Each structure stands twice: as C-alpha cells, then as structure tokens.
A and B are shown apart, each in its own frame.
Chain A
C-alpha cells in the first residue's frame, strides 16, 4: 500500500506492506537510529517522535502513520551540526553503549520543547520509558539539565541578535 510520510523534514510517498511496524519500516529505509530492544513497547530503544510526541515505533504499524510527521534521532542533528541535547550527552559522557541513547535524547528533546526549565523530577519522569542498563541514568539526567541551560543560552543570544538585527 501507499504511505505518505514526512521523515526528518522530507515528505515522500512510500510503498509499504500493511503489517510492517513503523520501527521495521524506518530501519528498512536506512534510519538505524531507532533500535529494537524488546519489540514489545517496554524499553524505548525504538523511540521516535510522531507529530512531536514520543512513540515506541515497535508498537505502531507504519500504515497507521499516514500523513504524519516523524522525527528520528538522525533528523535532530548530525555529526557536523549537533543539537544541544546531543552536545550535552557528549559533554557529560551520558552515552555508554549508546543503544538507548537515541530514545533518551528524543525523550529529552520532547520534554524541553514543552518545558524548557524542567525540575529533576520532571526530567526523570520524561525519561522513565527509556530503559538504560549502562548508566544508572545519573549522567543522562545531568545531560538534560545541561541541555536545558545550553538551549536557554542559545535562545537568549538568538533574541539578542534578532533585536540588534
């Protein structure tokens, strides 16, 4: 069947089998950021943002996302142009094996879009769907706090440039 989707800003029409999960579909299209850790909605390794909301892509059929807009980790930033959340994860060494990291970063990004100055408890709440076996979540939480500061600074400096301009 035909499926129209916007993935990381690019809209295309894809041919997709009706029973394929969004996770398998994305991976078949070369988006390997979302990973499979359980296939059951329990770990968050497959997380993407669908219309701005965190979704475990292993639980959704690709066909159900018709007309939707999807953000995978690959669309957030790239090696030459990292998003502040990615910068922050690097800076505080919040990624160990990295298998959970795309999911954690997208959860953090979704949180910060809605709540730019979250409390620690709010951060922990936002990351609760992403299992990480390596870090104990200490550094990831710190990374989100750092990202919030970095984004705030960026927003301020952007405003300043705008007002000068």
Chain B
C-alpha cells in the first residue's frame, strides 16, 4: 500500500469509540446482561488435589436434589482429545485435554459439572457429589518434571502432539545461527544470568462467562466472552462431535481478556448441556475460579548469556528456556519459541542460539498472556544488555543504538525461529527505536539521573529497556471483512475481528471511513458473529489493526470502486477521475453527486445491484513495533521497598489510527507490567493449592500506584500496514520488569533475577550483596 500523501481525515484522529456511549451509560450488553427464559445455571466441581485418579464418583445424592437438571462427569461425556488453545488450525498445541477425564492434573481441574434451575440449587448439588480419589505424587517444580522416575502427568494413550509425554515435556524447540559455543568462548566479555518469572493471572475484570441456547432452527447459539469466536466454534464442534454448521458463536461486548479468553474454557460444557437438555445454560467463573481454573502466564526460568568484544560488538547470544506450562500444554510451544523470536532479532549478532522446553507440572495451566513470551525473554535480554554496557563502561543507550536492527535490514533469526516453528524473512520497513530512545531519555531526565550520586536510605536510579514484538503471525493469521452500502449513504461493516475492549471496532471503522471518504459515524459496525460476519482468526498475536485492518481496507477499496462506477454513470465521467470528499463525489467538470443518491440509483433504478465490497488479508511479514521504556525508582535501603516514581514508555506503532486509544494500550500494558514486576504473584502451598485467589490477596495496581505512567507515541510509517499502522497491544507489557530491574541496579547496585520485586525480595538481595 502506498503512503497517502494527502492528510487523512479520520485515521490519526481520535473520534469517540463507536461503542462508547453504551459503555459510559451502562447500556452496553455483555454476555451476562441478557436473561433467557428457562435458563439453567451451571457450575463446575474442581479438583482439590494436584494429581489424582478418580476411583469413584457418586452423583446420586446430588442428582436427587430439587432443580438439578444434569450432571456431567467423565463417565457420561464424549472423550475427545483436543487443545483448549484458540489457535489457527491445525493448532501448534498438543491435544492433551478432555471435557472430563478420570484423572485430575492440578488443583482446579474439572471433575464434574452441574446444571440446575438456580444458582443456589447448583451450588448445593456441587457439594453433594462424592468423589473418591487415589492420590498420585505431584510435580510442583518444573525443574523436577524431567527427572528420572518423575510421575508421568500425561500417561493417557490418546493424547497427541506432546513432545515427550514420558518425560513430561510438552514442547521443545532449538534453533542456532553460527556457532554459539565457539563464539562465546572467544568473546572478550561475557555476561550471563538466570532469570525467573512467576505465576500471574490476566485478571480481566469480567470473568469468563458463557450463555448458550438453541435457536428456532435447532442450532446452538453460544454467546461468550471470547477472543476467538471462530476457533471457539471449531473447537466446540470438535469436542461435541457435531458439525460446525450447527453452532453459532456470538461475542458481544466483553470485559477485557489479555489472552485469558483465547481459550475454550466454558463453551464446550455450556453447549453440551444445551444440546442434551435443550435448555439455555449459563456458566460464569467466580473470581476464585478465574484465578485457579482459568489460565495464567507461563512461569519461566530463562538462562541467558551474551558474549561481546571490547569494541562492544555482540559476538554471541544464547538463550535457554525452561517454561512451566502447568497441567496442560495450551500455547506451550508457541509461547516458548516467542521468548526468543520476539527478543533475539532485536540485535545484530552472527551467533545466536535458542533452546527451550515447556514442561508439564501439576500446577495451574498457563496459556496466552499479553506479551506471549516476549515478557519473559525481554527480562533476561535487557538486564544483560545493561550489564554489558556497564562492563564496557559505556552508556547503555549507546550500546543499544549501535547494535539494534534498523530500517531495511533483515535479521536471520526471524527466519530461523518463528512462532512454534521456523520463521519467515522479516525485512524491517519501519523502525522508530532511535527516536523512542531519544524522546524517552529526555522525558525521564536520563543523563542527570543516571549519574547522580547514590547515598542515604532512599536511593534513586533510572533504567531502560528496548523492545520489539510483531504484528500478527505471518502467513497464518487471516482476517476478512465485508462492507455493504445503505441508501442513506451509510455503510455496514461486517468483520470477524474481535473487540475485547481494545477499541478495534472503532479503529477498523476509521479505516473503512477513511477509505470510503465518509465520517466514522457513517460506519455501522457488526463484528465477531460466526453466522453473520466473515472469518477472522480473532484478537491475538497483536494482529487486529494490522491483519484485520488490512482486510477492512481492501473491502473498503472494493466498495469504493463500485461506488465510483455508479457515480461515473450518473456524472458521465471516467471513475478514475472522480474525487470523493465527505460522501460527495465530484467529477472533473465540477458536477457532483452524493453517496445516498448513488446507492438509491443502484438499489432502485438503473443497473440495479447491492453495492458492497469484500476483502481478506494475510501478511508474509510481521512488522515489529518498537519501544523504549524508562523507569525511575526509589529503593528504601532499610525495608527493601521499591517505588516507581516515573515511567516513560515511548512506542513506535507506525501510524496510530486512533492516537488516544493507542496511548491507552500503552498505559494499560505498562500498568499490568509494573504490577507483574512488583506485586502480582500466585502463591501456592506444598500441595499445589493456590493461597491467594482473590483481588484482596492478589495485588493488581490501583489508581494510587499508577500516577507515574507516561506514554509517548513515536510515529513511523509502516508500508505494509493499513494507513501505515502496525501493532501496539502487547509490546509495552514487556518493558517494566527489565526497566525497573535496571533502575534498581542504578540506584543501589543490586541485580534482581526473580520477579516480583517485593520489598522482601529486594531486601534479601540487598543483604546478600552486602549492601545492608
């Protein structure tokens, strides 16, 4: 797509969200905001044990309770190996999950499901189910998963796609450029570290919730809070062993997702009960279930080494990852490989190696989480870059500037390592990283603060991190859109793209409006309904603006061509010579006609047809957004308490289609990232039971702790993206851990190798380093 030289009218402006009025008036309809006559309420009985076989399950007492309609267990449901990961088909995740199994693999695993006439009846019945377990030894530490004689978590015969079930390895991947060991041994300087990140949950404020019912043609309608309506349809069809055409999935407004809803967690149960009882059914996770039974970020141990020469040139980078996928392998391979593929191609270096395993444990199931491996990888890489700069006695910004990838370059690691497999050539067509570093450094006051004296009880320091991510999965992610013109000159935009609260309905409407030459109010958006809208893989991999946006742009161009044909008939000019502005078409001779008249003619009078356009879009490349983050912290040397005083996130997301919402994406990711760095962690007892499954005990940031966040958008133009756009949704969650860790080092000289950086852990590090 060529750069539009004319100033854009809609793109690059920040109109009100197309769904905004509903959101601020409480009239927006989320999944649970409808009530259907005769609805059943379903709830799930979960395992209290980390690893056990179900010896006996007795539902007789529960069944007899008034109002109980149906109880599901492994004994009366289809056993279909599948993955809960909502990914493109065939999924790169192992088929190791079942609607129910006779074995439970973590505390929180499904045991039974009750559907009853009321929530109270359901709760009572769940308590009356008697289960006798045979306890099995459990693995709670991923380093023990591969030990000899470790219990085998997936010993069932019918799972497939597991790398090595007998050793609890869900996924494994290796890629090497050059000769890393040799280069490392020859390097003048080496820096290395073992970096650990913990269990954390996405915490969408709306928990997972699904309502299903039969329509008047005997088809199952699933109204659900999902990021992946089309994958949901496919996976539910697979689990229930019914044709996809029997299922319609609708995603209404949903209350945040962040990766947690790229997963089929409730829809199979809900639909199955509807199929069997013919009744509408609702299942909603409680907050506690959201913490223990839903999905988490993959905890990881990332060992990394960098070798460099005295001139600063990077000689070798070696990344070795142990990822804990928990009891099931959802997203295990792809998150693993993204640790490397979203970080290593940031720097020029001839010898690069990535090795990693994702192992099963009897712990909560990890899945997709904003950042998707990039968060974990950036921690290791960016702390080591800081350490390397220190050893070289140069400013880390100079080191970054010298070796990062630039416009026009193609990094060989992008081809060697992709998402769960080999990657693709990914030439860089836009890169604003230098500007991000410059603007970010200036905003934080880098020069003065980096070198100020560190004395006394409260010590301040600044640190930074450089980041990249991608825009969609190349040659896999696909989005499609259809635009239909109405006789008043408005348009319906139908697309599979999935707005999770991210604002994609609005920015995709902006792309359509810009292309069609109308204000955004003329675009009526209908998205994410498998019956009504074209296909889209869904909202993940930072793909929506770039991939779905490309589809909308094509559909709008197609529609525009047809509009101009009709306009040409009316005005008597060559369609190519016509100009469009604000829904009015002008010919070279000055004659005008308007969109309503054009559509009326096409619908009612001459050469009648429906003016509409369609477009599908994939991309052979995945243009990385870039960012540079800067943190200023204060460390209390007596208590270890760490405060983030200032945080600047400068991000190059290409052209921001809607700058205010793009800033919102940056700010929200940073807040989540700071929370993960400082306080968010799931804690477990020695039986694998989660100790803090509530917002009271699991600390996400409030308005009181986020006053420090500042976003700076650094515009570039990405020629492959619609109107120059690339992604913004995920990259900025990857900065806080390394930027804060590096700032702490600058403040008081300790390196932090394990998140979260709680006062206790900082205090211990200070103590170990002999600083106190």
Q: Which A residues fall within an 8 A CB radius of B?
A: 31-40, 42-43, 45, 72-74, 76-79, 82, 86, 89-102, 105, 120-121, 123-125, 127-141
Contacts and interface: CB of A to CB of B under 8 A. Distances in A.
Contact of B24 (A82, A125, A135): A82
Contact of B255 (A38, A78, A98): A98
B256 A96 contact: yes
A133 to B, nearest CB: 5
Interface in B11-41: 14, 16-17, 19-30, 32-33
Interface string B621-648: 0000000000000000000000000000
Given A72-B26, A73-B26, A99-B501, A32 B668 contact: no
A93 to B, nearest CB: 4
B205 A139 contact: no
Given A92-B660, A93-B660, A38 B30 contact: no
Contacts of A138: 663-664, 667, 706, 709, 711
B149 interface: no
B671 A43 contact: no
B231 to A, nearest CB: 20
Contacts of B32: 35-36
B62 to A, nearest CB: 22
B703 interface: yes
B661 interface: yes
Contacts of A94: 664
A95 B205 contact: no
A133 B26 contact: no
Given A133-B700, A138-B706, A98 B711 contact: no
Nearest to B28: A98
Contacts of B29: 32
In the A-B complex, list the 9 residue pairs whose CB atoms are closest, starting with the nearest.
A97-B501, A33-B26, A99-B255, A98-B23, A136-B671, A42-B695, A73-B26, A136-B667, A93-B660
Contact of A82 (B21, B668, B671): B21
Interface in B531-575: none
Contact of B16 (A32, A78, A90, A127): A90
Contact of A45 (B205, B709, B711): B205
Given A86-B25, A139-B660, A38 B695 contact: yes
A99 B206 contact: yes
B378 interface: no
Main secondary structure of the interface of B (DSSP, over half): loop
A40 B16 contact: no
B501 A102 contact: no
Given A32-B30, A98-B24, 10 more contacts: A74-B27, A93-B664, A99-B205, A123-B703, A127-B702, A131-B205, A133-B202, A133-B256, A136-B672, A137-B701
A134 B664 contact: yes
B258 interface: yes
A99 B30 contact: yes
Contact of A124 (B25, B202, B700, B703): B703
A111 to B, nearest CB: 12
B489 interface: no
B500 interface: yes
B571 to A, nearest CB: 38
Contacts of A32: 26-27, 29-30, 33
A72 to B, nearest CB: 7
Contact of A96 (B22, B668, B706): B668
B356 to A, nearest CB: 29
Given A133-B256, A139-B660, A43 B709 contact: no
A132 B696 CA distance: 14
Given A43-B695, A79-B21, A100 B704 contact: no
B24 A89 contact: yes
A55 to B, nearest CB: 16
A98 B56 CA distance: 45
Contacts of A135: 664, 667-668, 671
- Give the interface size class of chain B: 35 or more
A89 B27 CA distance: 15
B30 A133 contact: no
B502 interface: yes
Contacts of A99: 30, 204-206, 255-256, 501
Main secondary structure of the interface of A (DSSP, over half): loop
Nearest to B257: A97
11 contacts: A32-B33, A35-B206, A37-B206, A45-B206, A90-B16, A96-B668, A132-B703, A133-B258, A134-B664, A136-B701, A137-B671
B205 A40 contact: no
B371 to A, nearest CB: 14
A102 B500 CA distance: 17
A37 B205 contact: yes
Contacts of B707: 120-121, 124, 141
A86 B24 contact: yes
B287 A37 contact: yes
Contact of B25 (A45, A74, A91, A133): A74
B703 A137 contact: yes
Contacts of B14: 93
A131 B702 contact: yes
Contacts of A127: 702-703
Given A45-B205, A89-B24, A133 B672 contact: yes
A136 B673 CA distance: 10
Given A38-B694, A90-B17, A134-B256, A95 B23 contact: yes
B23 A136 contact: no
Contacts of A132: 205, 703
Interface in B687-712: 694-696, 700-704, 706-707, 709, 711
Given A82-B21, A93-B660, A125 B704 contact: yes
B286 interface: yes
A86 to B, nearest CB: 4
Interface string B657-676: 01011011001111110000
Contacts of B497: none
A105 B28 CA distance: 15
A94 B19 CA distance: 12
A133 B703 contact: no
Contact of A93 (B17, B694, B700, B701): B17
Contacts of B599: none
Given A37-B207, A99-B255, A99-B256, A137 B706 contact: yes
B715 to A, nearest CB: 18
A64 to B, nearest CB: 20
A141 B705 CA distance: 12
A124 B593 CA distance: 52
Given A40-B287, A95-B17, A124 B704 contact: yes
A54 to B, nearest CB: 14
B24 A133 contact: no
Given A32-B26, A79-B21, A86-B25, A133 B287 contact: no
A101 B14 CA distance: 19
B24 A97 contact: no
Given A42-B696, A133-B672, A95 B20 contact: yes
Contacts of B696: 40, 42
A34 B709 CA distance: 28
Contacts of B695: 37-38, 40, 42-43, 131
A134 B668 contact: yes
Nearest to A130: B703
A6 B203 CA distance: 34
Contacts of B23: 89, 95, 97-98, 101
A140 B703 contact: yes
B24 A90 contact: yes
Contacts of A42: 287, 694-696
A27 B19 CA distance: 21
B510 to A, nearest CB: 13
